[in-house]
Amino acid sequence: MEVSSVSPPSASPTEGADLCEIDVTNVAIGAVTLLISLCGLAGNGAVLWLLGFRIPRSPITIYILNLAVADFAFLLFAVPFAVLYLLEDVSCSMIMPLTYRSLLFPLSVLSYIVGLYLLTAISIERCRSILCPLRCRCHRPQCLSVVVCALLWALSTSLMASVISVCQSHKPEHCWVARICMYALNSLFIPAMVISSIILFIKVKCGSQQQQHKRLDIVVSLTVLVFALLALPPTLWNFLRKFGYSIMSSELVFLLTCIHSTINPFIYSLAGRCWKPCSVGSLRLSLQRVFEETEENTARSNHTAMDTLLC
């Protein structure tokens, strides 16, 4: 995925100065994108508030909190963009500043990269706790999640800043090398994320875990699956576009990106099995069912295992 990988829709519906034909399909996609983005802002905002202030911290919730920050930051820019795009499409005039448009490109890619890195870390964290619970519990530093998140954010930001600075030097060959390096680095995380997610899925299907752990593993598996279905197609679209192929419109790519940044809170609610009307209270109950007391249950099972070994 490159700097302009999640390319927003074109600024003007027509190129002629005298004709103004409104594309109903683009307007409909733009309206759906705006609605979904608003829902995503509300959902991720609620997750940020609940995990930040209402639910006790754990290694997994720290990762989820950082993932919600990345999604919320992207949607915070995507909502005004969707509004301005609809106004441009209806009025047939240029409204959106080019500076704002250029800010959305790197932010969308940064959200993608951070999500990829954090999901990989979450998947590996869960696999370690399942495959070797005693060792993970005894030898894991308490601040490891915070340190890992800080390093992943620093890596993502520095990577994006490097690519942007190289591409703005007006040397196409250097820009291409920088993009290839970013592709190569990101591709290293994908196999680890996929393999660890498959292990989690197998463990869930085997049914040997406690219900609390099953919910958490279902959340991780579904989040990785949704990431693969929604975030990777825009990357493929952007890659093929460089060779003259187009598998979907830019409006649809932007819609998929907004759905990807919106859907995680609904996954948490689904895994928590709260079928109440949508509210912060029901989301809080779902998050508590998924994330709360996981560490306590793990510690209790570890102590039981230790007692068994000693006996």
- Residue-by-residue DSSP string for 139-185: H--TTHHHHHHHHHHHHHHHHHHHHHHHHTTT-HHHHHHHHHHHHHH
- Average pLDDT taken over every residue of the chain: 76
pTM of the complete model:
0.81
Number of domains in the chain: 1
Does residue 72 form part of some domain? yes
Please name the residues in contact with 301: beta carbons below 8 A apart, sequence gap of 6 or more: 133, 210
Sign of CA dihedral 207, 209, 210, 216: negative
Amino acid in the structure at residue 229: L
Section 164-171 average pLDDT: 80
Does residue 4 form part of some domain? no
- pLDDT tens digit sequence for 111-129: 888 988 998 998 888 888 7
Q: How far apart are CA 242 and CA 2, in angstroms?
A: 11
Of the CA atoms within 13 Å of residue 216, those in its CB half-sphere come to 28
3-state secondary structure of 122: helix
Does residue 19 form part of some domain? no
- Contacts of 278-286 with C-beta under 8 Å, sequence gap 24+, read 280/46, 280/49, 280/50, 283/43, 283/46, 283/47, 283/50, 284/46, 284/50, 284/54, 284/55
- pLDDT tens digit sequence for 52-72: 887 888 888 899 999 999 999
- pLDDT tens digit sequence for 232-280: 777 777 667 766 677 777 788 888 888 989 999 888 887 766 545 556 6
Does residue 237 form part of some domain? yes
Section 181-192 average pLDDT: 83
Highest mean pLDDT, choosing among 160-164, 273-277, 292-296: 160-164
Does residue 259 form part of some domain? yes
- pLDDT tens digit sequence for 196-209: 888 888 877 776 55
pLDDT of res. 59: 82
Identify the CATH number of the domain in which residue 108 sits.
1.20.1070.10
Pairwise pLDDT comparison (47 vs 206), residue with the higher score: 47
pLDDT above 70 (res 306): no
Does residue 174 form part of some domain? yes
3-state secondary structure of 64: helix
Does residue 270 form part of some domain? yes
Token pair of 19 as six digits: 């004709």
Token pair of 103 as six digits: 């800010």
Structural domain including 98 reads 24-274+285-310
Section 180-203 average pLDDT: 83
CB neighbourhood size of 277 (10 A): 7
Does residue 88 form part of some domain? yes
Exposed e or buried b for every residue in 81-95, given b needs 16+ CB within 10 A? Answer: bbbbbbebbeeeeee
